[in-house]
Amino acid sequence: MTVELIENENENQSDKIDIKKEIFEWIKVVVLAFSFAFIITRFVTPSLVKGTSMYPTFNENDYLIVNKVAYKSHLPEYGDIILFNSNFRDERVLIKRVIAKENDTIQIKDSKVYVNGKEIKEDYIYEDIFWGEIDAVVPEGKVFVMGDNRNNSADSRVEDIGFIDKEDIIGKVEFRLFPFNKIGSQWKD
């Protein structure tokens, strides 16, 4: 009888140890998952394309990954596609391509875009003829952006949007996750 009691106590202790191990493993998984999610959301953000202003580069409902730390130390480069906050129509988040940077002279005339007096090559635009006439210098700490579907894009040509301040830039579009047949970053040169 004493042997049976000792065996039952050992089994109970073993069960308690197994339960503690199981609980500890679950806690580790949950803490790791939250830590991973926190780290990821600090550096990247998912974004869903709404509208056709970036067609043919992006279509409506393309799912993108945006690098939120890409411009912490510098402004975007020419051709970068950025996400930014705007005051346009209820403070929308917009996606556009960087055409000119601070201190650049931007001129749009006869559906041609000139940066610092040189016409830029734009193989990515949807239509060769588009609206807008501009002749300006991009202010310090700002960029000039345009959509790839120029005739269907509210961008820096629109007074309510204008030049984009570095503080309003959310990040750089780095990767397309959906649709699956276009996954990756094929739009880059």
* Residue from 96, 101, 142, 172 carrying the catalytic annotation: 96
68-85 CB burial, b ≥16 within 10 A, e <16 = bebbeeebbeeebbbbbe
Give 105's strand partners. Answer: 137
How many Å apart are CA 29 and CA 126, to the nearest integer? 47
CA contacts within 13 A on the Cβ side of 48:
2
Q: Is residue 176 classed as helix, strand or coil in its secondary structure?
A: strand
Q: Which residue among 47, 53, 86, 153 is the active-site one?
A: 53
Determine whether 121 is an active site residue: no
142 is catalytic: no
Which residues are catalytically annotated?
53, 96
